[in-house]
Homo-oligomer: A and B are copies of this chain.
């Protein structure tokens, strides 16, 4: 079955599709209010979109005191696939054209097993979603990987935690398998786009989105657009020095932020503390699970464990210190904290806030909200769907 064969023919059509995506069904009159075109021209463009099948007119809206309007909406059968590959798990979701999640799967996975194995898993998850009746096929897919990406080609480059992925043609391969257009980006950038589209960063044009998972990264949005940098490695803040002559890091340096705080570092520190008898709470969890993760630390912190709280606070201090520097440099309008460790919640947030508000200048922090992301694990897949829809809803 061939799907979404058409693309918007001009900027007006692209704008209309975007409005319908972000604002849901609209009458022609409502669209006209937002688009600065005459009614006649608007009608022409809407008609052309109707002809292509990208949008449909279904039903009449209730009258608002005059003639009833036709509901114009994006084709209800459009389906996007959002894939968010993390270091230790993968999220796959199906959305409609409005980027609402219709179905979402999460499975553990090890990205180090390489692209072939991971692809197999992703494809089987996508097949499962399709089999459940949520989609007959996909009109496009967005995929995020935990490393730098040469964006135009959709190819990972020199990814530190993904041996075997370097140069693998993710975009081309996935496009072949799924039979639809695919866009690839860094997972952190997708999280930022997700929070921008449907989360705390709605209508914010300049913000930072710090993702603390197995590693640490930062999505940078400038003027509403993701900044990817000269080689696609922008936002790679995990290897900024947080502690002079600090702990050795896998990258060869010492004192990198990631060596002192991240999901992996936190688990390791907690395990050490448990083994050294510093915390009964953590020791109990270690005995129960055999190994500790960031979630165990989060649970221990909720239970009031002082050691867990101390680890979180210390990590937050280091993170906050780095973020303080970024805030001085970039002067964002908002800082979003997200990723796997959002479970650490307000202990972490408080530590970060303290450092940033203390170290950055008042002009930069005066009106600066520092908040947790509100989409959780959905941010990445929504961002992925957003990525491909931005691509498909732009003039061919």
A binding-site residues for B, Cβ under 8 Å: 148, 157-158, 160, 206, 218, 220, 222-223, 225, 227-237, 239-241, 243-244, 251, 253, 321-322, 324-326, 328-333, 358-364, 366-368
Contacts and interface: CB of A to CB of B under 8 A. Distances in A.
Contact of A364 (B218, B236, B332, B363): B236
Residue of A241, A322, A329, A366 with highest tally of chain B CB at under 10 A: A329
A231 B363 contact: yes
Contacts of A361: 160, 233, 236, 239, 251
A233 B229 CA distance: 21
Given A233-B364, A329-B330, 4 more contacts: A158-B362, A220-B330, A230-B367, A231-B363
Given A233-B361, A253-B359, A363-B233, A329 B218 contact: yes
A159 to B, nearest CB: 9
Given A206-B229, A229-B206, A358-B253, A236 B158 contact: no
Contact of A241 (B158, B321, B331, B362): B321
Given A241-B324, A241-B325, A325-B241, A234 B359 contact: no
Contacts of A366: 231
A98 to B, nearest CB: 29
Which of A231, A235, A239 has the most B CB atoms < 10 Å from its CB? A231
Nearest to A208: B329
Contacts of A359: 239, 241, 253
